[in-house]
Amino acid sequence: MFKKFKKSVGDVLDFPPDVVGEGPKITIIGRQQVLVENYISIVTFSEAEIRLETTEGDVCFGGKGLELKVLLSTELRIEGELLSISFEGGEGK
């Protein structure tokens, strides 16, 4: 019931999904650091690619020397040389 209420309040007040807490929020600082909030799980992880599952599909970060510096249940920080970002799946709103 609360989730329904939260969603309708967000829709009525026209809040973006990251404020309501549903969608992923991705903050990129230059090419060296990425902060991802509201992810579901880590699909793949290597120095060249990190793929995350989110409510809006997978997000893939490609680069060199990628490392997970902070790993919490709802947010993580990636550091290294970021070369690409791609999105797969989801509805593509």
Per-residue pLDDT of the chain (93 residues; tens, 9 = 90+): 555 555 555 556 666 655 665 789 999 999 999 999 999 999 999 999 999 999 999 999 999 999 999 999 889 999 999 999 999 987 655
Cβ count near 61 (within 10 Å):
21
- List the structure tokens of 53: 């599952």
pTM: 0.75
For the chain, the domain total comes to 1
Residue 45 inside a domain? The answer is yes
- List the structure tokens of 6: 């939260």
- List the structure tokens of 56: 């809006």
* For the chain, the helix, strand and coil percentages under 3-state DSSP, each to the nearest 5: 15, 55, 30
Residue 72 inside a domain? The answer is yes
Residue 1 inside a domain? The answer is no
HSE at residue 79, side-chain half, CA atoms within 13 A, is 4
For residue 33, what is the domain's CATH number?
Answer: 2.60.40.2000
